[in-house]
Amino acid sequence: MFLSIHQYYTRNICKLKGKLFRFLVSSKNLKIGKNFQCDTFPSLMIDKNSKITIGDNVIFKRNVEIRAHATSEMIIENNVKIDRGVRLLSNNNAKLHISEGARIGLYTVFNGGDSIFIGKKVLISGFVYIQTSMHNHEKSKSIQEQGYSHAPIVLHDDAWLGAHVSVLPGVTIGKGGVVGSNAVVTKNVAENEVVAGVPAKVIKERE
């Protein structure tokens, strides 16, 4: 299979940018493995007590944003591909862990006020919202003054989230679970269940 001149140029520029980014920003708080590639340098914010580890053969497309605050930790394993406009945020003492071979679709947001675990070869489509934090909302005072409650989210191996899915705090999606586009997941999804709707409900099992 032959590459066009544009494909060859783009691929090699991405490799060069990845090497340059790795050289410029690697530190005791940020470790980047071999063969990192990026279309553009990701936007990076990392507090002095937080930590980010990126494995080998990881690809970032354009305008990826990474933010690690407080004492949080972010781990991106080998062979992960993150599409353009994705935002990865870890905060407090949470751990955001994306396992080997996962694919994260464009403009997806990981809001990691609590821990997020993404299993091996998970497929997340575009415009998905992984939300571990929720505003408290008692009526005694304004919502902005009440802070947040937090709960972790887990997506086990081979799960698939369709486009525009929202996953709310405390949800676990079992191995091979499938969530249809535009669903809002408020409860756990069992292994190989297919769910859809608002709120998401079981419609069948994978065959």
Tens digit of each residue's pLDDT (9 = 90 or more) over 63-104 = 999 999 999 999 999 999 999 999 999 999 999 999 999 999
pLDDT tens profile 35-46 = 999 999 999 999
- Compare 176 and 142 and report the one with higher pLDDT: 176
pTM score, two decimals? 0.91
Confidence category of residue 164, pLDDT binned at 50, 70, 90: very high
Per-residue pLDDT for 126 more than 90? yes
Given 6, 69, 97, 135, the catalytic residue: 135
Per-residue pLDDT for 53 more than 90? yes
Q: Is 137 a catalytic site residue? A: no
Angle (nearest 5°) at CA 98 between 133 and 112: 15
Asked if residue 203 lies in contact with residue 195, where contact means CB atoms within 8 angstroms, the answer is yes
Tokens standing for 61?
């497309």
Average pLDDT over residues 168-194: 98
By mean pLDDT, which of 23-32, 98-107, 138-147, 161-170 is the weakest? Answer: 138-147
Q: Could you give the CA distance from residue 129 to residue 108 in angstroms, rounded to a whole number?
A: 6
Per-residue pLDDT for 10 more than 80? no
Helix (H) or strand (E) holding 47: none
Tokens standing for 40?
């553009």
CATH code linked to domain 5-205? 2.160.10.10
The residue ranges of every structural domain in the chain are 5-205
Confidence category of residue 141, pLDDT binned at 50, 70, 90: confident
Q: Could you give the CA distance from residue 35 to residue 87 in angstroms, rounded to a whole number?
A: 21
Tokens standing for 114?
């609590």
